[in-house]
Chain A
Amino acid sequence: MEFISVKDVVKEYETAVALRGVDMDVEKGRWVSIVGPSGSGKSTLLNIIGGLDSPTKGSVFIDGVDLGSLSEDAMARFRRENIGFVFQQSHLVPYLTSVENVMLAQYFHSITDEAEAVEALNRVGLGHRLHHRPSQLSGGEQQRVCIARALINSPKILLADEPTGNLDRENTRLILELLKKLHSEEHFTIILVTHDPFVSKWAERLLTMEDGRIIKDEPLYC
């Protein structure tokens, strides 16, 4: 079985259908981009893979674990050890500093280790912004804190939902270069959702979604 395996996933909301039967497999260590117009269900798919949402039908396996069989708390435990998230809006706790936001993820995972959190922020180039609160950081800096936090527990998978959606071109490039560097060092699997062709082409594989289905699956060589 593949590392990530999505089988015939359907997600229906009360008023709309977001996913109409999605099948996909991702090998370990790959960088996959999912593109498509808004409303095509790509964010929903990402949330379901990350266990933030549950499918109406179908199943998701990660590393052989059926997410549907996990209780909510078991899912949280699974998540903190295996999955890191980066969202479009940099969801940081507003009253904690950068380093404390990273430590929050350590706290839920096991115990806190400030030196390690500082090191992680150094790696994303924020060594000079350790004790600033999110409101004192620029959008790009906030996203870097998010990346540091997402990777602090050495997850096997990084799920990114429009991570550069709110950033200008220059910051977007910096973030993507950072991701590329970390990906080549730590070999985690990336699934990145975007509508921006500039962002999507950094991947090794490109999935295109439309109307709740995957309509195109092509390898990228860069």
Chain B
Amino acid sequence: MSLFIVEAVVIGFKEALKLALVWLVFSAFLLEQNRQKLIIPFYWGVFLTFLLSLVSFFIHPDLFVKDVFARLIGYTFFVFFIGSVAALYQSSGVRLFRFRLNDTILRPVVLLLTVFYFLPDIVGSSLFIRELSLMKESYAPVYVSALTGFVVTLAAVVAVAGRFRRTLGKFFGIAQFLLFLSVVKLLGGGIKGFAELSLIPSVERGVIKFVHDVVHQTFVFLMVPDHPLLRVTVWNFIGILFSSSFALWIVLLVVLTPPVMFLYRSFTARIPEPEGVLTGAEKRKIKASIKRDRLRKAVPVAFFVCIILVSWFSGRGEQVSRFYNPKPKPVVEDKGVVIIPLTDPAMDLMDGKLHKFSLLRGEDTVVIIVIKKPDGKLAVCLDACEICPPEGYGQIEDNVVCIYCRTPIPIETLGQKGGCNPIPLKATMTDRDIRIDVSEIDRLWQDVRAGKTKEIVK
């Protein structure tokens, strides 16, 4: 019971910390740019966000809306990250844009971006807090503790750190500020309390899935799908690509390349000769100040690179804890057919969770997975694919994930043949149960077991 309270406080604390830090850096940035007035639309944006999130309490959003907000957080991260990359690129001397916006245009931009930045988090957190309070069956304590955590943290940060704004501003250009926003998003974007403080696992999964989908679709499209030799060899190769450590490195590479390049540039790029009739000493002074400024601006970038690296590696532990991998339930064959009832007192096949059943065939234990797809049909597959060793699948939210290579497979694609997908089984559905021919299981299992791969390549 008290865990709910603690969790609520943590959420309040986290959201307030994000808000306070963003306020701090933004106002420091404006102070340095001498555009303090732009803080006003920021305040309005925050106000508007809170109003909107209040609305969300009354509209009883369904699963779909919640999912949209969860995804939005990921998208905001990418938007700000890409923005910061572009700005870093620009600030290291490459001219991408040539415009300089005046305050009239910037005011609505700041307002909109503020809402865009905070809305998903605040709404998501509000919804989560409401769920918590529903579980507790008494609203007030949960709301109050979340709000207390929020207000106390906000006040503390603003009071303590406010006076460092002048110094802080020297370290932040627009690029650094955008990078800061995306890092805050990355580290604090999770909205599910303890279970998901940071976005890292989601981002990692998202990127792998994206790459996987692209590669998968490309190959499915390009190749004669059932050419056995080509198919198996290529998929074997792709299988290596999707091993868990490889994926980590790819994602890290994608995320860290731009800031590291920026750091490299800021240490090595030539300083342009100052223009005008100046003495050598004056020129050197200007150059030195440019150099000092570059080094200062490199500090936050280096800092964020370190933070991302550290939290990325430490954040990987989270994935494991949310990995749902049920113990297979033994089933037996009856006259050449395996019958799995749709419901029994202990389970419900239609609950959207992964179900596993084990069947003894000779020396082997063959595992069958069953899961309800979003369209309401049941997917029935072997707990193995054509590529990896048959270690089976677990479930993370709306994906099943290969335990061996960690490739996430969207549940809606289950039943499709090939690649990393689990091998589908033909099953007959009745009102009360699923029936699978043992001969079908044996045939497909023999392929998996014999390492079909090798035989075909021969």
Contacts and interface: CB of A to CB of B under 8 A. Distances in A.
Interface of A: 81, 106, 109-111, 113, 116, 119, 152-154
Given A109-B285, A110-B285, A152 B291 contact: no
B105 to A, nearest CB: 38
Contacts of A153: 281
A111 B289 CA distance: 9
B64 to A, nearest CB: 59
14 contacts: A81-B281, A109-B285, A110-B284, A110-B285, A110-B287, A110-B288, A110-B289, A111-B284, A113-B283, A116-B280, A116-B284, A154-B279, A154-B280, A154-B281
B291 A109 contact: no
A152 B280 CA distance: 8
Give the secondary structure class of B's interface: helix
Nearest to B288: A110
Nearest to A112: B284
B282 interface: yes
Contacts of B285: 81, 109-110
B280 A113 contact: yes
A113 B288 CA distance: 11
Interface string B89-128: 0000000000000000000000000000000000000000
Contacts of B281: 81, 109-110, 152-154
Contacts of A110: 281, 284-285, 287-289
Contact of B282 (A106, A111, A119, A154): A154
Contacts of A152: 280-281
A131 to B, nearest CB: 20
Contacts of B291: 111
B279 to A, nearest CB: 4
Nearest to A105: B281
A119 B280 CA distance: 10
Contacts of B283: 113
Contacts of A113: 280, 283-284
Interface residues of B, number: 11
Interface string B263-294: 00000000000000001111111011101000
Contacts of B287: 110-111
A111 B280 contact: no
A109 B281 CA distance: 8
Nearest to B289: A110
A81 B285 CA distance: 10
B289 to A, nearest CB: 8
Nearest to B279: A154
A81 B284 CA distance: 11
A154 B280 CA distance: 8
A178 B281 CA distance: 20
A139 to B, nearest CB: 27
A113 B282 CA distance: 12
A79 B410 CA distance: 70
A132 B301 CA distance: 43
A153 B283 CA distance: 10
A21 to B, nearest CB: 36
A55 B439 CA distance: 106
A154 B279 CA distance: 7
A152 B283 CA distance: 12
A152 B279 CA distance: 10
Q: Which 7 A-B pairs have the closest CB atoms?
A: A110-B288, A110-B284, A154-B281, A154-B279, A153-B281, A116-B280, A110-B285
Nearest to B278: A154
A152 B285 CA distance: 12
Given A81-B281, A110-B285, A153-B281, 12 more contacts: A106-B284, A109-B285, A110-B287, A111-B284, A111-B287, A111-B288, A113-B283, A116-B280, A152-B280, A154-B279, A154-B280, A154-B281
A41 B333 CA distance: 114
A158 to B, nearest CB: 14
A214 B359 CA distance: 112
Interface string B422-440: 0000000000000000000
A110 B283 CA distance: 9
A183 to B, nearest CB: 15
Contacts of B280: 113, 116, 119, 152, 154
A109 B284 CA distance: 8
Nearest to B280: A116
A1 B285 CA distance: 28
A110 B288 CA distance: 5
Contacts of B284: 106, 109-111, 113, 116
Nearest to B271: A111
Nearest to A106: B284
Interface in B272-322: 279-285, 287-289, 291
A109 B283 CA distance: 11
A120 to B, nearest CB: 8
A116 B280 CA distance: 7
A119 B283 CA distance: 15
A154 B277 CA distance: 14
Contacts of A106: 284
**Max chain A CB contacts within 10 Å: which of B287, B288, B289?**
B288
Nearest to A119: B280
Nearest to A115: B280
A113 B285 CA distance: 11
Nearest to B291: A111
Contacts of A81: 281, 285
A180 to B, nearest CB: 20
A113 B287 CA distance: 11
A76 B285 CA distance: 15
Contacts of B282: 154
**Max chain B CB contacts within 10 Å: which of A110, A113, A153?**
A110
Contacts of A116: 280, 284
A116 B282 CA distance: 12
A153 B284 CA distance: 9
**Max chain A CB contacts within 10 Å: which of B281, B287, B291?**
B281
Contacts of B279: 154
Contacts of A109: 281, 284-285
B367 to A, nearest CB: 68
A25 B288 CA distance: 34
